[in-house]
Amino acid sequence: MKTEMKVFLSEGKSKGDIVSLPVPEVTANTVLVKVCYCGICGTDQDLFSGECSFAENGQVTYPVRLGHEWSGIVEVVGEGVTEFQKGDRVVGDNAVTCGVCEACRREDYPHCEHMLNVGTIDPIWDGAFSEYYLIPKHHLHKIPDGISLKAASLAEPLSVAYAGIKRMKIDENSTVAVIGSGCIGMSAVVLAKCLGAKKVFMIAKNPAKLAVAAALGAEIINIHEADAVKTIYDATDGKGADYVLECSGAAGTYQQAIEMAAFRGVIALIGFYESRENDVNIDSIVSKALHMFGVMGEMENMVGALKLLEEHKPDLLPIITDELSFDDCIRGFTRKNYPNAVKIVVKICEVDENE
């Protein structure tokens, strides 16, 4: 095995480079993974440019090793690791616990008092844009059979969408509306389809991204061509959507979600908003008895998302619109280079999944 590995480091201000660093040494209860794919998240792009509140507020220490959406194969296991062995296909959580606080000592990891953020802001655990990645064993999850390593690199955004989906009682009678054609919105479409929703609508404006949603089984509404609220009411005999997942954070979509939701509907807010929402009709929330909640990534959601993948084996690959080699990955961190991308993944290492 190599002693040096390639690592991508972002320096901010749209600068970065691939450098050579020592391969981490495995310690007790940790696992060294050979990274196969790593997705580029919008947060990665923001941190690369440095044009975000995190950088402006000093919450990022450059250079930073980005990457929290990854899949790989176990290379070496440390002492005390019995749950995994060399060759296992795995994904990992987007946070790493300290291992020493009271919550960690009782294995209540979601309530760790000193959580580290994978590949993003301080306090940070180095990200996975590297050939090898060291991670504590309790943050690893096996990839279900029938899901490729490439598709499994979507597990983290799927887990974010799952945080909203799990609080909805979606069944064969449900109408689900998803606003926003990014990776998390597409993930919400996939999970709603897995749960058997009668109708799943994708509301967005980019024709190329809407085509991806259609490939995933959604009914598409281009807001430049149709009134989304009217279309959904017409399609549901005036009832509206039972469940709405607002994944865009665009101006006006908060009100749009309220308007298209059915009486006693459920709304999950997943997108971050660039500006304050004004003139929102709060009375509609009350008069329609809506249940509305915000969504952030939670550690245990990875398990739930993977379980749905295992049960339903959905085709996730349409979500991955672009693939880059590791040596060419820097292009993917600038949004304007890929205006129609839903998800860009970087192929870190060549792997034969049949070996």
Residue pLDDT, tens place only, 178-227:
999 999 999 999 999 999 999 999 999 999 999 999 999 999 999 999 99
Q: CATH 3.90.180.10 occupies which residues in the chain?
A: 4-154+316-347
Residue pLDDT, tens place only, 288-336:
999 999 998 778 899 999 999 999 999 999 999 999 999 999 999 999 9
pLDDT at 355: 47
What's the rounded Cα separation, in Å, for the pair 323 and 348?
10
H helical segments located in 90-206:
102-105, 149-152, 155-165, 183-194
How far does CA 147 lie from the centroid of its chain?
Answer: 16
pLDDT above 70: percentage of residues in the chain:
99
277 three-class SS: coil
Range 297-300, long-range pairs (CB < 8 A, 24+ positions) = 297/94, 297/95, 297/156, 297/159, 297/160, 297/163, 298/110, 298/159, 298/163, 299/93, 299/95, 299/109, 299/110, 299/139, 300/110
pLDDT at 354 over 70: no
Report the mean per-residue pLDDT for the chain: 95
pLDDT at 173 over 60: yes
Let me know if domain 160-294 sits in CATH 3.40.50.720: yes
Name the band, by pLDDT with cuts 50, 70 and 90, for residue 46.
very high
Residue pLDDT, tens place only, 85-136:
999 999 999 999 998 999 999 999 989 999 999 999 999 999 999 999 999 9
Let me know if domain 4-154+316-347 sits in CATH 3.40.109.10: no
Q: CATH 3.40.50.720 occupies which residues in the chain?
A: 160-294
